Amino acid sequence: MSVPLFFQFQPRDVDPALFVDRSRQLRWLEGLVTHYLYNRTVDKGLVVAVLGAKGVGKSILSRKALGALRDKFGRYVAFVTIDCRRKLSQRKVLREIADSLHQELARMKTSGASEVTPELVDTAAVVKTIASYTHVKLSTLHENLAVFKNASNLKVGGKLLDFLRAEFNIAVSRDKQERQALEGEVLLDDTTLRESLIQLLRDVRIQDPKLDVIIYLDNIDELDHDACNDASKREQIRLETIGLLDLCRAPVGFVLNMRSYYASSLLRDVDNTYTLESLPPEHMAQMLQVRLAGEREEIREVLASDQWSATLEELSRMAPTPLVFLRWLKYLAEWDEVGRGPIATRLEGYNNHHVANVSPEQLRVVARIFDPPARTVQRAELLVACDGREAMLSQLIHAQVVLPRDFWEPNEFTLDPELHYMLIPSEGTP
């Protein structure tokens, strides 16, 4: 029985409303942040890292927890969410943080949070303005900062302005004549921007005992995923990531999401980490029901039929992560017109949709050496499976058919979980 086409079902959707199960992990994350917000010291922040495989549910978990926390503390805590995918450099992430933080503080002020003063919003605007420059004439910068001179009236703190004045001779309160008389240029590099942000966050914290900021950085590992294939790019992206994580010195809350294989050498100083495992099979079905809520009734009816129930059960047992489960299901619902037979056979064309660059024969040969699915394989062994052909190995890596076990030392590889179906024995296979 074929499934009518989905209306809006998207496996990659990370809307927190789609959250299921994992109440224990949710409590853990919410508890940590709540504890931090109730028991703060002026100079100490919080860093929490949620790790796990791609598609295991890190984003939904974090977004769900932060959503609930925002409902509870949103009046005087600024929540900033940044997706780091393809940002390529810390600067773009820092710039986005500056932008979002300014918006969030402005929103809080508008909604009546007396702890957020106009002076504080202007202080945030100063960093936002600085973030948009790399090289800039001092006179130009001052002209643009002049509209935020109210920042200099900040009652408490003023660490940001002190820092800018001391390091770069930047002062927002200069009058027009002074501004026009300024000469020279200033380089506002990544370090400057990061330090400015940290000073701004300190200023925020000092304003009021309750006022705080929680910054959520999602997908840090995807700053530039392709960098793992090139040693020099890898080193560059490591420096970018370390630079970005240096922001955690600021006395505010950070929630970080990244894949386990990326985190190996980055989070040594982070005490609060949690590695998320996949959902148990019974919760996969529950997750599906939640995601199908917006679909037509007839779709749910078909998926509830005996034939599809068996398929779903098998998929939930075989799929290594919830994302893979949903993707396999979407494929079968959209393309599997027969709807019968072993799952492995029914998923046979799946790889054509995103790894057509690698020939199906080659893919089968390569997949076989990863049996059992969790096995890691040395690069040399992989090359042998590729018949010694570097170009073919390169195709596999770039198509992400194989993924490095450790992003920073890509000598061992695992098979992309989406291709694990190739290792499911078909009927009659010994």
Phi and psi at 10, nearest 5°, equal: -130, 110
Q: How far is the CB of 376 from other proteins (least distance, A)?
A: 21
Minimum CB separation of residue 251 from other proteins in Å reads 29
Instruction: Give how many residues touch other proteins by CB under 8 A.
Output: 45
Sign of CA dihedral 188, 189, 194, 195: negative
Q: Which of 207, 311, 395, 414 binds other proteins (CB under 8 A)?
A: 395
**Residue ranges in 114-173 that form contacts with other proteins under rule CB under 8 A:** 132-134, 136
Name the phi and psi angles at 198, rounded to 5.
-60, -40
Determine if 210 is a binding residue for other proteins (CB under 8 A).
no
Beta strands in 135-190 (DSSP E): 135-137, 185-187
User: For the purposes of burial, counting CB atoms within 10 Å of the CB of 8, is it exposed (0-12), middle (13-18) or buried (19 or more)?
Assistant: exposed
Rounded Cα distance between 289 and 329, Å, is 13
Figure out which of the listed residues 355, 363, 382, 422 binds other proteins, where binding follows CB under 8 A: 355
Query: Does residue 83 touch other proteins according to CB under 8 A?
Result: yes
- Residue span binding other proteins (CB under 8 A) among the ranges 3-11, 43-51, 64-72, 275-283: 3-11
| C-beta separation of 263 from 224 below 8 A | no
Nearest to other proteins of 64, 95 (CB atom): 95
Is 89 a residue that touches other proteins (CB under 8 A)? yes
| Structure-token match 């980055």, residue found | 266
Residue 183, phi then psi, degrees to nearest 5? -130, 160
The answer to whether the Cα torsion of 98, 101, 107, 109 is positive or negative is negative
Q: Smallest distance, Å, CB 340 to other proteins?
A: 17
Stretch that binds other proteins, among 105-113, 258-266, 280-288, 398-406 (CB under 8 A): 398-406
Residue in 110, 111, 191, 359 binding other proteins, rule: CB under 8 A: 359
Calculate ∠ Cα 169-174-176, nearest 5°. 125
Q: How far is the CB of 240 from other proteins (least distance, A)?
A: 9
Question: Which residue, 185 or 277, has its beta carbon nearer to other proteins?
Answer: 185
3-state percent breakdown (helix, strand, coil) of the chain, nearest 5: 55, 10, 35
Catalog residues that contact other proteins under the rule CB under 8 A: 5-6, 10, 12, 83, 85-89, 91-92, 95, 132-134, 136, 222, 226, 229-230, 232-233, 330, 334-335, 349, 352-357, 359-360, 389-392, 394-395, 397-400
